[in-house]
Structure 1
Amino acid sequence: MTSFSFTAVMAPLKILFVNCTLKQSPEISNTEALWNYVAERYRQKGCQVEQVRSIDFKFPIEIMPEGRDALLPLFEQVQATDILIVGLSGTRSSAYQRLLEYLQDICQIRAEPTTGQSPVYNKVFGVVMVSGAPHDIAQTCYEFSQLGCVNPPNNAVTWLPSVEFSEDFMAANGKQPIQVNQEARLLVEHSVAIATLLQSSPLTANQRAATHETQAIADQATPASPTLLTPKTVRTDDHLDGLDPHRLTKRIWTVMQEGIRRGFTFKVFSLEDRTFQAEREGKGFLYKIYPGHFSFRRQYEDYDYEQFKSRKLALMQQDGLSIPTSYGTFKTFAEIPLETLSYPLVAKPDSGSLSENVFPNLGTVAQLRQATAVIEASGGVIKLESHIAGRDYRVLIINHQYAGCVERRPANITGDGERTILELFQARNQEEGRGDRNEAHTTLHQLVFDHTSRQLLHRANYTLETVLPAGKMFFLQKKITASTGADYVDCTDRLHPDTIKDCIAFSHHFSTLTLGFDLMTMDLSRPLAETGGAFNEYNFLPYVDLHENCNIGQQRPVCQLIWDYIEAHAAQIVTSDFNVF
């Protein structure tokens, strides 16, 4: 009897790389250059490799169930691949966002009728990124896992400029750091291994059945009783059995410290909601972030009004305060009437804080296009206004009184005629009080040398070995962000009386105890009408620790004004049973 044995012959794995750069083909792309480095390792494994650019496709507004949309070839490529790699450059661009939205729509429309599995179910996923942030990779992997893709271990390759390497991938001329070599090999090894397993033994979960089962359970469930919250005491030097204050942000802890000096103890009701309880001699009150006026209904109306920058500027303009020229708000770059603009411009989201996705001093349409693409990708509405030249200041009003003013400077070094730029950079990071970039319990952060720093260095024709002349200041960042090492300079005694008067008068619109104004001007000591300066916006919860812990000039005990108000109105706000006011 003749016996036969069969050996399954697997077809070569197919790899599709979708480059989400904002550069259209055939423009040179650093992301593509990094991908080519990875792709060669896939080819060595016998894989078939293809690549496309998301921006080269015109994504439809509506996906046609019958498959008549113009992106059918792209969809068919995605559906036919075994391993799908997405390329990011610096951020999750509008090109990426459109790709994701398209796949989300078409995967829902073309889900398998019986099981509910999407067309990308069982596809192995990976990311190749140039000059981005780790959280962008995490979010991208999560989004594609929700589509049905499988994330293997070590499924990302990243190029991050550093002091040792060039400012972009291609300029490195093949000199990849060990990390890139390692990540490329691990991505290829793991993705090929998982894809091979899935070819022979694919996942077969019935998602429709799982949805029906969980819905049935939910329909039968009864609402659970709410869990009572047990507050946790905030630790002080003589009370070490509670919450470590290092888990609090510096501005919250700075206000608490003044309360502790006055005999108050604190408990945390919710770190997520930043809700606290202050108590002294058996009496106390609840508050959120900062103790305030406790007219909560009115305050919530104030906070609701504050959410949109366009509303803030309109109110300041009504009061006669100097503000930038507004060009309106837009959902997309295509809506912007370019012929009506006067440069330079500032592009920013109409809501948000902490200078996130704010792009100042835009001088060209190309720069504007890039800035708005980032804002669009983050889901924000684009606000355009004129760029105001000058230095950046924060004016603080507490209980309708002038409390202080600080200048906020981007990370910088100042030459001494002896040390190199690298030595000056290292010396600044040895300054007392500078915490880690991601540390919340600090006002000052260590300086960061990143892609922006390299660009500024290159434009100034400097290197890390350049010795700056004595007194020469060189900025390492374009934006003023705490996490990259900003400085805070006290300017309280220099602010012009007319500006102070305007801020105090405006503060009477609101019942909130604290109010901070963002101000740009060339000369703080002169009226804004003379300098062309303007207010950018105001905030109800300004960072009081900038004044208490500034690293240049006199530190101002502004939190005393907050607690002076609390104690002056104790008869109105203090109860023994901690009612919420």
Structure 2
Amino acid sequence: MTDAPDFSGLSAVFINATLKKSPEPSNTDGLVTMSADIMRRHGVAVTEIRAIDHPIASGVYPDMTEHGWEVDAWPEILDQVMAAEILVLAGPIWLGDNSSIMKQVIERLYSASGMLNDAGQYAFYGKVGGCVITGNEDGIKHCAMNILYSMQHVGYTIPPQADAGWIGEAGPGPSYLDPDSGGPENDFTNRNTSFMTYNLMHLAKAFRDAGGIPAFGNQRTVWDSGVHEFGANPEYR
């Protein structure tokens, strides 16, 4: 067994898209805690946000108070997301799909998809993303596909095996944190959550050490300037 890399200095944000307001217990928090605790043990600064506790407006602009909403907590949350190298979206399965809160969070992430970093790339370049899912009905892979596709579409990089989840026995039954559910002791879930967590930290560290994703052929500022010779040209060598 090799020594663990130095992950200190990295930061991560977990956004829980449960439908339950605090302080009501959230089963999704159980998996969030497992992953977040691994990160904290390796010196990663972790912020946990329960989205439903905040007055997040609906919409696809960075600040919806500029579009008719009186209050919007998203800009403050986005500042925390932008400051972190790792983002994990966590949520429950309802009717085989992601929760309405998860959909809202993804829409608001999309609202920042036009923002740029200092290298002229899209702002989420060089950041890594993953997800955890809980429930007592089928749909972990379906929910993960939607979340991880959405994250890479706005610029996040997805490492190998970047999703984990627990659903227990399909149909009505105990949830993850319920007594005798078997969730916290489930080896498959624990393994996947651990692998996801370490892969997120490994890739985030690699990007940090490399200074992000190389800025060639992917700079919005260069493309907008009219310089296209590096792409969209079958004759380019």
Per the shorter chain, which TM-score range?
0.7 to 0.9
Structure 1 Cα separation of the partners of residues 9 and 48 of structure 2: 16
SS at match of 2:23: coil
From the superposition, tell whether residues 192 and 175 of structure 1 become closer, same or farther in structure 2 (CA, over 3 Å). closer
Match of 1:59 in 2: 56
1:17 aligned partner, one-letter code: F
From the superposition, tell whether residues 116 and 69 of structure 1 become closer, same or farther in structure 2 (CA, over 3 Å). farther
The answer to whether the aligner puts 1:191 opposite 2:200 as a matched pair is yes
SS at match of 1:17: strand
Match of 2:3 in 1: none
- Once the two structures are superposed, the pairs formed by residues 315-334 of structure 1 within 5 Å of their partners are none
Deviation for aligned residue 1:147? 1.1
2:77 to 55, 74, 77: 74
1:83 aligned partner, one-letter code: I
- Once the two structures are superposed, the pairs formed by residues 84-233 of structure 1 within 5 Å of their partners are 84-90=87-93, 91-108=97-114, 110-112=115-117, 115-118=120-123, 120-131=124-135, 132-162=139-169, 167-171=174-178, 172=181, 175-201=184-210, 202-205=212-215, 206-208=218-220, 209=222, 213=228, 217=232
Deviation for aligned residue 1:65? 9.7
- Once the two structures are superposed, the pairs formed by residues 30-49 of structure 1 within 5 Å of their partners are 30-49=27-46
2:10 aligned partner, one-letter code: L
Percent identity, aligned pairs only? 24
Q: CA RMSD in A?
A: 3.1
From the superposition, tell whether residues 160 and 139 of structure 1 become closer, same or farther in structure 2 (CA, over 3 Å). same
- Give structure 1 stretches of 5+ with no counterpart: 1-8, 219-581
1:59 aligned partner, one-letter code: I
The answer (yes or no) to whether the contact 2:133–2:143 under 8 Å persists in 1 is no
Structure 1 Cα separation of the partners of residues 195 and 118 of structure 2: 36
- Per-residue CA shift, 1:310-331, capped at 9, x if unaligned? xxxxxxxxxxxxxxxxxxxxxx
Aligned length: 207
Structure 1 Cα separation of the partners of residues 43 and 206 of structure 2: 16
2:213 aligned partner, one-letter code: L
The answer (yes or no) to whether the contact 2:126–2:213 under 8 Å persists in 1 is yes
Deviation for aligned residue 1:196? 0.6
1:41 aligned partner, one-letter code: I
- Once the two structures are superposed, the pairs formed by residues 350-365 of structure 1 within 5 Å of their partners are none
Deviation for aligned residue 1:188? 1.7
Deviation for aligned residue 1:70? 3.7
Structure 1 Cα separation of the partners of residues 213 and 30 of structure 2: 33
| TM-score, with structure 2 as normaliser | 0.76
2:141 aligned partner, one-letter code: P
The answer (yes or no) to whether the contact 1:63–1:69 under 8 Å persists in 2 is no
Which has the larger displacement, 131-140 or 205-214? 205-214
| TM-score, with structure 1 as normaliser | 0.33
- Per-residue CA shift, 1:99-149, capped at 9, x if unaligned? 1111211332x324862422x221110101013331221121011001111
- Once the two structures are superposed, the pairs formed by residues 499-514 of structure 1 within 5 Å of their partners are none
The answer (yes or no) to whether the contact 2:140–2:165 under 8 Å persists in 1 is no
SS at match of 1:129: strand
The structure whose Rg is larger is 1
Structure 1 Cα separation of the partners of residues 32 and 78 of structure 2: 21
SS at match of 2:46: strand
Deviation for aligned residue 1:80? 1.0
- Per-residue CA shift, 1:367-419, capped at 9, x if unaligned? xxxxxxxxxxxxxxxxxxxxxxxxxxxxxxxxxxxxxxxxxxxxxxxxxxxxx
2:214 aligned partner, one-letter code: T
From the superposition, tell whether residues 63 and 84 of structure 1 become closer, same or farther in structure 2 (CA, over 3 Å). closer
Deviation for aligned residue 1:52? 0.5
- Once the two structures are superposed, the pairs formed by residues 252-263 of structure 1 within 5 Å of their partners are none
1:38 aligned partner, one-letter code: S
- Once the two structures are superposed, the pairs formed by residues 443-454 of structure 1 within 5 Å of their partners are none
- Once the two structures are superposed, the pairs formed by residues 177-576 of structure 1 within 5 Å of their partners are 177-201=186-210, 202-205=212-215, 206-208=218-220, 209=222, 213=228, 217=232
Deviation for aligned residue 1:198? 0.7
